[in-house]
Chains A and B, each alone.
Chain A
């Protein structure tokens, strides 16, 4: 994000000098490294270890996922219009506890499905988007959970393909009761700021 934490605020002032120096090195490395990118859904599972790369098969899978995403988008859009939120008929591998449609135009839309919390406190979240610009130069999209319209925490970052479509699987460990909405924003690395694009209430 746009600001780095203050090391003194993080660790206080009562560390031994040697330990302080050691932790400060890690602090600097974390800032230098930046956040690891979200893993695309296509890479969620390891490849079959035959030592062969079957790229065409994977590309067919990707095409299938795009098609599936479009179907899911259409299904959810219809469900949303019919007031059928909460019912999950998608073929994805988790049952949606909540579904939100961000945006009102079919030309630019994001559908966020939030699954049930697991025994470790993690919730799967699947984001399918269509009609977004492919971002370059280190820019990316960020999905936020909001409260009173204000972005509070990030759910993850992603980009889209040339066709403006992608589906990514995220995981959040948040208490949903603490939020009332979702926001998709575009982050500009050059300007170091987010520009909100799409919103939705989380009911």
Chain B
């Protein structure tokens, strides 16, 4: 028996709110930017290092897994990446750009080094959507995933959960409303808010 997660609850359709006010707050509301954290790490601030790790450990792991195709090696690459960040944060210059691309470059280099150490060719593992894509397309896909995963990590929990249920849980908006026991209008409002926050982040510091 196999299944593709797909639920049809037959719930009555709840009329959509005519106007939904979307309030987009900055992703880094009240928190330090990546660039500020990297600068502090460069000064030897272990607390800033931990904050950076909380933000970026999953995007780094995702990138390493995508490129190395092996969880054990990807775990090692994550450790090497953060060791490298600790060592080289002093070289980061905020006036040359935001922190996300710098961190991506450090992670990518650590992963490439890992591949070299293993004697593997420096090619990226083919992904589902890019079996026929060239290196440029694959690199672009990796960079997109990096930014999206980083932006997701900063969403409020209730919005991140909605996005995960909608995009990777296979649930429709009605099914999410039923599951979370909240009105369909609230699901739509929060979903819009989440997408707007993600857009702000992806157009801003993470661009």
Partner-B contacts on A (CB < 8 A)? 1-5, 9-12, 14-15, 19, 22-23, 25-27, 29-37, 39-40, 42-43, 46-47, 49-53, 55, 58, 120-122, 136, 138, 144, 150-154, 159, 161, 173, 175, 178, 185, 189, 191-196
Contact A2/B5 with A36-B62, A53-B80, A161-B71 known, Cβ cut-off 8 Å: yes
B3:A193 contact, CB within 8 angstroms: yes
A31:B199 contact, CB within 8 angstroms: no
Max chain A CB contacts within 10 Å: which of B59, B62, B69? B62
A13 to B150, CA, bound (A): 28
A9:B172 contact, CB within 8 angstroms: yes
Asked if B205 CB lies within 8 Å of chain A CBs, one says: no
B19:A14 contact, CB within 8 angstroms: yes
**Which partner residue on chain A sits nearest B6 by CB separation?**
A3
Picked from A3, A15, A173, the residue with its CB within 8 Å of the CB of B4 is A3
Asked if B144 CB lies within 8 Å of chain A CBs, one says: yes
**Which partner residue on chain B sits nearest A172 by CB separation?**
B161
A5:B71 contact, CB within 8 angstroms: no
Task: Report chain A residues within 8 Å CB of B69.
Answer: 136
Chain B residues touching A, range: 35 or more
Asked if B33 CB lies within 8 Å of chain A CBs, one says: no
A2:B173 contact, CB within 8 angstroms: no
Task: Report chain B residues within 8 Å CB of A42.
Answer: 75
A10 to B196, CA, bound (A): 12
Asked if B83 CB lies within 8 Å of chain A CBs, one says: yes
Q: Which B residues, 190 to 207, have Cβ-Cβ distances below 8 Å to chain A?
A: 191-192, 195-196, 198-199, 202-203
Partner-A contacts on B (CB < 8 A)? 1-7, 16, 18-20, 22, 41, 46, 49-50, 53-54, 57-59, 61-62, 65, 69, 71-72, 75-76, 78-80, 82-83, 86-87, 127-129, 141, 144-145, 147-149, 152, 157, 161, 163-173, 179, 181, 188, 191-192, 195-196, 198-199, 202-203
B165:A153 contact, CB within 8 angstroms: yes
A30:B167 contact, CB within 8 angstroms: yes
Task: Report chain A residues within 8 Å CB of B6.
Answer: 2-3
Task: Report chain A residues within 8 Å CB of B65.
Answer: 37
Task: Report chain A residues within 8 Å CB of B18.
Answer: 14
A2:B191 contact, CB within 8 angstroms: no
Minimum distance in angstroms from B205 CB to a CB of chain A: 15
Minimum distance in angstroms from B203 CB to a CB of chain A: 8
Picked from B16, B19, B181, B199, the residue with its CB within 8 Å of the CB of A25 is B199
Picked from A2, A25, A55, A138, the residue with its CB within 8 Å of the CB of B79 is A55
Task: Report chain B residues within 8 Å CB of A47.
Answer: 53, 79, 82-83
A33:B4 contact, CB within 8 angstroms: no
Task: Report chain A residues within 8 Å CB of B53.
Answer: 46-47
Minimum distance in angstroms from A8 CB to a CB of chain B: 10
Report, nearest first, the 7 A-B pairs whose CB atoms are least far apart.
Answer: A46-B53, A33-B148, A1-B170, A2-B4, A33-B145, A35-B168, A36-B149
A122 to B173, CA, bound (A): 22
A13 to B202, CA, bound (A): 23
A122:B4 contact, CB within 8 angstroms: no
Picked from B1, B49, B57, B149, the residue with its CB within 8 Å of the CB of A33 is B149
A25 to B201, CA, bound (A): 12
B57:A12 contact, CB within 8 angstroms: no
A55 to B114, CA, bound (A): 13
Q: A12-B192, A35-B168 are in contact. List 13 more A-B contacts (CB 8 A).
A: A10-B195, A32-B129, A32-B144, A46-B49, A46-B57, A49-B41, A49-B49, A53-B79, A122-B157, A152-B179, A153-B179, A191-B2, A194-B3
**Which partner residue on chain A sits nearest B174 by CB separation?**
A9
Contact A46/B173 with A10-B166, A23-B199, A39-B57 known, Cβ cut-off 8 Å: no
